[in-house]
Amino acid sequence: MQDQRLKDFLKEFIISDSQLHEVYKRFTTEIQNGLSLATRKQADIKCYMTYIQDLPTGDEKGNYLALDLGGTNFRVLHVSLKGHHEAEIESKVFVVDKELMTGHGTQLFDHIANCLAEFVNEYSLNNQHLPLGFTFSFPCVQLGLTKALLVRWTKGFNCAGSVQEDVGRLLKEAIARRGDLEINVMAILNDTTGTLMSCAHRNPECRIGVIVGTGCNACYVERVENAELLESEYKVDKTHIIVNTEWGAFGESGKLEFVRTDYDRTIDKASLNVGSQLLEKMISGMYLGELVRLVLADAISENLIFSRTSDKQSLINTLRENVCCFEARFISEIENDNFPDFQQTRTILKELFAMEKASVEDCQKLRYICECISRRAANLVAVGISSLINRIAEPHVVVGVDGSVYRLHPHFDAYMRETMRKLVNPKITFDLMLSEDGSGRGAALVAAVASKN
Ligand code: BGC
């Protein structure tokens, strides 16, 4: 892409090496602050204890149920762990519509219990008393494996009456209200923990679990002596604990202002959780498409792209008036497209604007806009992962990664690795591994590991 004016316009999305190192420094301090009793109150990154202290060995066996709430879909799963690092999974996706996502918590949990009942009936699992792992992908203060107080809703959720409540209790009460289910809730976990457990099940060198999907977050294996919040009884027999960083909250006390743009501020202001999850809002699938939508509208009005289109104003209006019309998956499709045909890009332009003919140059420009925004996101994820790898400081660290953005974007992994090579201590080698059904298999593994203790 040669157009200097468009390049200048997008400059604020390009993180320079010195900015990258500064974000890295601030992020690393914030993790330390989250772990230390004296500083954690003010820390953006809270580093929650998960109470999971064992990684799987691969020998785990047995049948489990899992619930997965907080990503693109709500799912109920039946997981059979087979030993020898193997698992078989049956699952069903259920719709959680916007009304449920922003209604009362009781309705949401009743819906979850209803879906669970439908699933166990369909698969004839009800009289088996199966242990259940609940992957609940929102920030929680855990008071043990089955007690988790919801700190705040994130992403598109905002249900009344549930913040500060124990989501384990809310689930059990909803199950009891039905009166026909025999379920044993064994563990509540975050999707990052599920990802870490699921990857460690296959590769024992896995120490970090990352999600780059609708939301963004990571967990990692910390030494118990560094986890100041952890009660001493958990430090006697075990050397490590999985910490759920909730890094998506980074930036809430202003530490990212030097790299945030007015577009990021606009997105935050229009969100369900103003002022919260500021790092997440620069990275995750829920917001990436919105960033492109806003940038594209301005770029058109500045005559930087589609300047020869006869009805420019109608393109601008379409973009400004239709919140969320530019989906994150479009970014992946556009960056995956072939020069000079740009077939997928043209399909998207037709869908969005009924545009019949776009020039090759305009397609290249649109791709450049997408690339600047996704590369910035990947750089920020790389900062977080690099910081955790250096903190773990083992000679080789494997990172399990999942989430729609990471999975679908053709270059996200490459962008991340490029930046990680700049930040990870050169004495440490690392690898990124795509997780296979972390939220299902991971939930079963947590339940399995928990029942061993
Ligand atoms: C939540 C995390 C979750 C992440 C990815 C964030 O919004 O706060 O708990 O791990 O999304 O799903």
Residue ranges making up the domain that contains 114: 49-202+437-447
Q: What is the pLDDT of residue 73?
A: 84
287 CA from centroid of ligand 1 (Å): 13
Higher pLDDT, 451 or 311: 311
Q: Is 190 in the pocket of ligand 1 (CB under 6 A)?
A: yes
Q: What is the pLDDT of residue 126?
A: 85
Residue 233 has pLDDT above 70, yes or no: yes
Q: Considering the entire predicted model, what is its pTM?
A: 0.97
Q: Is 70 in the pocket of ligand 1 (CB under 6 A)?
A: yes
In a domain, 186, yes or no: yes
Residue 317 has pLDDT above 80, yes or no: yes
Q: Is 155 in the pocket of ligand 1 (CB under 6 A)?
A: yes
Local structure of residue 67 (DSSP, 8 states) = E
Q: What are phi and psi of 53, to 5 degrees?
A: -120, 0
Q: Are 197 and 138 in contact (CB under 8 A)?
A: no
**What's the CATH code of the domain at 64?**
3.30.420.40
Residue 300: which pLDDT band, with cuts at 50, 70 and 90? very high
| pLDDT, tens only, 396-436 | 999 999 999 999 999 999 999 999 999 999 999 999 999 98
How many domains does one find in the chain?
A: 1
Ligand 1 atom having least distance to the Cα of 138:
9
In a domain, 238, yes or no: no
| Residues sharing a CB contact under 8 Å with residue 143, sequence separation 6 or more, in sequence order | 149, 166
In a domain, 217, yes or no: no
pLDDT, average across residues 6-13:
98
What string of H, E and C letters represents the secondary structure of 235-247?
HCCCCEEEEECCH
pLDDT, average across residues 45-65:
95
Q: What is the pLDDT of residue 188?
A: 97
In a domain, 405, yes or no: no
Of all residues in the chain, the percent with pLDDT exceeding 70 is 100
pLDDT, average across residues 293-297:
98
> What is the C-alpha end-to-end distance of the chain, expressed in Å?
58
| pLDDT, tens only, 56-109 | 999 999 999 999 999 778 999 999 999 999 999 999 999 999 999 999 999 999
Residue 33 has pLDDT above 80, yes or no: yes
In a domain, 355, yes or no: no
Residue 284 has pLDDT above 90, yes or no: yes
Query: Hey, whose CA ends up nearest to atom 11 of ligand 1?
Result: 215
Residue 146: which pLDDT band, with cuts at 50, 70 and 90? very high
Residue 219: which pLDDT band, with cuts at 50, 70 and 90? very high
Q: Is 406 in the pocket of ligand 1 (CB under 6 A)?
A: no
**Of 201, 195, 227, 244, the residue nearest 54 (C-alpha):** 201
CA distances from 292 to 121, 311, 326, 342 (A): 44, 20, 7, 18
- Give the active site residues: 155, 191
Residue 167 has pLDDT above 80, yes or no: yes
| pLDDT, tens only, 333-387 | 999 999 999 999 999 999 999 999 999 999 999 999 999 999 999 999 999 999 9
Residue 301: which pLDDT band, with cuts at 50, 70 and 90? very high
In a domain, 71, yes or no: yes
Residue 453: which pLDDT band, with cuts at 50, 70 and 90? low
343 CA from centroid of ligand 1 (Å): 34
**Mutate-to-test residue for ligand 1 from 190, 244, 405, highest number of ligand atoms within 8 A of CB:** 190
In a domain, 218, yes or no: no
51: which 2 tokens? 């109470």
Residue 38 has pLDDT above 70, yes or no: yes
| pLDDT, tens only, 106-129 | 999 999 999 999 999 999 998 888
Query: Hey, whose CA ends up nearest to atom 1 of ligand 1?
Result: 138
What secondary structure does DSSP assign to 130-142, as a single string? -EEEEEE-S-EEE
Q: Is 142 in the pocket of ligand 1 (CB under 6 A)?
A: no
In a domain, 287, yes or no: no
